[in-house]
Structure 1
Amino acid sequence: MNARTLTSLDRFLAGCERALEAIAGSPPARRPTPAADIGEADLDDTERRHVAGLMRINHTGEVCAQALYFGQAALARDSDNREHLLHAAAEETDHLAWCAERLEQLDSRPSLLNPLWYAGSYAIGAAAALAGDPVSLGFVVETERQVEAHLAEHLEKLPPQDERSRAVLSQMQADEIRHAQAAQQRGGIDLPFPLPQLMHASSMVMKAVAYRL
């Protein structure tokens, strides 16, 4: 049986479905959570709120990652690069699901501003793709480097006994490093000043807001 060729409407509807799943914050994961066999830590109320804030930031970051990848893939000029972006997005979906599960375990919730984060990130991803695949892939490299750095920061800020959150963030960090390396190998270029600095500044705003909202 021949596979059906997707029309523009099919791709649009699939994109809408992916957006709704990301904004809702709990798409199905393909891989089991790294914390599956780890017991819950004994956290007091202050520690629990702090960990929930950190995991909400990471959940929001994964919402943004979904939007960035899909925005870039939608306008990618090379079909192989498009497939690479979609494959990376699928792994980021695992991260999103793991963070959502951890938030639920902490009796917390995702960011209330997820629709705004998604829309803005999709627009940025599409703009990067319009600049050409080398710039778009370079944007992936820089994004993943910055995400890897903030995951390292969060690993240091976690309460020592919270091994569940630590396992999730450690696997996410390893995946982000691999995504950056793969994008660079495919021809991603170093972004010119001041783009990395602007990306860092916008991420700082997102983290400050998502920690609370």
Structure 2
Amino acid sequence: MAPIDRFIIEFDTALRSVVGGAHAHRSIPGADKSSTTFLDAKEREHAAGLMRVNHVGEVCAQALYQSQKLVARNPEIRQMLKHSAHEEMDHLAWCETRLQELGSHTSYLNPIWYAGSFVIGLVAGLAGDRWSLGFVAETEKQVENHLESHLEKLPAEDERSRAIVDQMRIDEIEHGQAAISAGGAVLPEPIQKLMQAMSKVMTSTAYKI
């Protein structure tokens, strides 16, 4: 593929991540479940806040994978990152669709989330494939924990959101395991703590904005 073609594809991915319009390659989980019939206004608002946080997580994931692909040394690792990003795009589309069903919106700060994550991914990638993969593994582990907490927080009646989050959780586990199997390093504890702190700032802000 010519460089200009790759640039167009990556730019389109970035644009869809930030402004919306992502396309899923897999059917949305929970499509056979009720949309909002059993949710009152407060429950819809709460579910929308959680799904907006999940959507922001996928915006960040696209930025991270895109930047890390750019500087990956090993073609096999680059292909693995591409595959994971492909599945993360499904998550992005699913969350966006669910937010529309809940009568809500994606985060107004998506351009900031994307730009910041792209820079972080670039730094991790430049540190070398081993550390880049370690960063992926730690990120996916934290996302897995975060999604598990959302399964506890989502209204029990919101079966559609719960189905989406559960499938996302399964995929994130696989992505993290793939990164470890490919040789990902265990990140130093201070970096893990810093990532957790940054995640808390993002989730608390995205829930509202």
- TM-score between the two structures when normalised by the length of structure 1: 0.95
Deviation at 1:18, TM superposition (A): 1.0
1:26 aligned to 6, 21, 28, which one?
21
The C-alpha deviation readout for 1:82-105, integer Å capped at 9, x for no partner, is 011011000000000000000000
What are the residue-to-residue correspondences of 1:11-160 with 2, within 5 Å?
Answer: 11-40=6-35, 41-160=37-156
Q: Are 1:100 and 1:110, in contact at CA under 8 Å, matched by a contact in 2?
A: yes
> Aligned with 1:33: secondary structure?
coil
| Partner Cα distance (1:26, 1:20) in 2 | 9
Give the partner amino acid of 1:30.
H
How far is 1:38 from its partner? 1.0
Aligned to 1:204: 200
Cα distance in 2 between the residues matched to 1:104 and 1:14: 25
Aligned Cα root-mean-square deviation (Å): 0.9
CA distance in 1, matches of 2:47, 2:206: 12
C-alpha separation in 1, matches of 2:20 and 2:203: 17
Instruction: Look up the match of 2:2.
Output: 6
**How far did 1:39 drift?**
1.5
Separation in 1 of the partners of 2:147 and 2:189? 24
Q: How many residues align?
A: 208
Give the match's secondary structure for 1:124: helix
Q: Which consecutive segments of 4 or more residues in structure 1 shift more than 4 A?
A: none
Q: CA deviation at 1:14?
A: 2.3
Q: Distance in 1 between matches of 2:46 and 2:95?
A: 14
Helix, strand or coil at the partner of 1:191: coil
CA contact (8 A) 1:29 1:97 kept: yes
Q: CA deviation at 1:193?
A: 2.7
Give the C-alpha shift of residue 12 in structure 1: 2.6
Please say if residues 29 and 93 of structure 1, whose CA atoms lie closer than 8 Å, have aligned partners that are also in contact.
yes
Q: Secondary structure at the match of 1:194?
A: helix
Q: Counterpart amino acid of 2:53?
A: I
Unaligned runs of 5+ in 1: none
One-letter code aligned to 2:6: R
Q: Deviations over 1:3-35 (max 9, x none)?
A: xx322x333332211100111233110000011
Q: Check the 8 A contact 1:137/1:187 in 2, yes or no.
A: yes
Residue type at the aligned position of 2:200: M
State the identity %: 55
CA distance in 1, matches of 2:113, 2:71: 20
Partner of 1:32, secondary structure, is coil
Unaligned runs of 5+ in 2: none
Q: Is 1:169–2:165 an aligned residue pair?
A: yes
Residue by residue, what CA displacement relative to the aligned partner does 1:34-69 show, whole Å, maximum 9, x if unpaired? 111112241111111000000000000000000000
Q: In the TM superposition, what whole-angstrom CA distance separates every residue of 1:136-165 from its partner, at most 9, and x where no partner exists? A: 000000000000000000000011111111
TM-score of the pair, normalised by structure 2: 0.97
